[in-house]
Amino acid sequence: MDRSNAQFSVLGLPVHILDDCAGWLMERLHQGLGSHVVTLNAEMAMQAEKNPALASAIRSAELVIPDGAGVVLYLRLRGKPVRRLPGIELAELLLQAAGKLPDLEPIFFFGGSPGVAAEAAANWQQKVNGLSIVSQHGYLSKEQEQDLQETLKKMQPPIVFVGLGVPRQEFWIAQNRHLCPRSIWVGVGGSFDIWAGTKTRAPAVFRDNHLEWLYRLYQEPWRWRRMLALPQFALKALGDLRS
């Protein structure tokens, strides 16, 4: 699968459109090729405009998928018939694919509040027979994080899901992926909370109408300041279209 022919630009950031992102990643895994996956949305794109280090981390990723409705709309306005691929759905496809490989080493969940990643892992292991997952919450001291790095280096998990929020998870992956150079690294935001059952994903009617962000704001009203990035992104997108 040739990814180079399916790369577009959103505010100077790459977005890759593939028919089967999970299949492409699993093929790279079989080939021993490491991959960093970024799930791009409007909020992250606006953060990257102000944070060159974040922009650099996104540009260096092997796969950047259109996670947010704003990113999809941006590309559609430019004649690209793009479908949204939420990061949580790509992660679930990878977990299901991993469950079909009985000899695969354990997958790693890192991030979230104490107990959340462990519960998410337990739920997935119950759902997919043969799936092995090791988990670690994201509230670590410097010494504990060093221990985690040593653990990853020894384990070499094939897939590492990192749920530390944006941009922390992107920086963490960029800084630590050398520990497991042949692994797939995916920033999954709050997916552990959803898999653990501590939070719920937006109903289908919200997802199908590109309003998942609104449901998330309803669940987490404290995020309203961060949501201001959405109209800023829309204005930027319209300005780019006119230029």
CB-CB contact of 219 with 199 (8 Å): yes
Which residues, including other chains, have CB under 8 Å from residue 112's CB and lie 6 or more apart? Answer: 120, 137, 138, 163, 190, 192, 193, 196
pTM of the predicted structure, to 2 decimals = 0.90
Which residues, including other chains, have CB under 8 Å from residue 179's CB and lie 6 or more apart? Answer: 149, 152, 153
Cα–Cα distance, 238 to 243 (Å, whole number)? 9
Q: What is the pLDDT of residue 120?
A: 98
Q: What is the pLDDT of residue 211?
A: 62
Q: What is the pLDDT of residue 4?
A: 54
Cα–Cα distance, 89 to 194 (Å, whole number)? 12
Cis peptide before 203 (omega within 30 of 0): no
Q: What is the pLDDT of residue 32?
A: 96
CA angle at residue 111 from 221 to 128, to 5 degrees?
105
Q: What is the pLDDT of residue 162?
A: 98
- Nearest Cα neighbor of 185 from 71, 64, 12 is 64
Structure tokens at 135: 């988990």
Q: What is the pLDDT of residue 228?
A: 67
Residue with tokens 């997952």: 133
Tens digits of pLDDT across the chain (243 residues): 455 558 999 999 999 999 999 999 999 999 999 999 999 999 999 999 999 999 999 999 999 999 988 899 899 988 988 999 999 999 999 999 999 998 899 999 999 999 999 999 999 999 999 899 999 999 999 999 999 999 999 999 999 999 999 999 999 999 999 999 999 999 999 999 999 999 987 677 666 656 666 656 656 665 546 656 667 777 777 777 665
Q: What is the pLDDT of residue 81?
A: 81
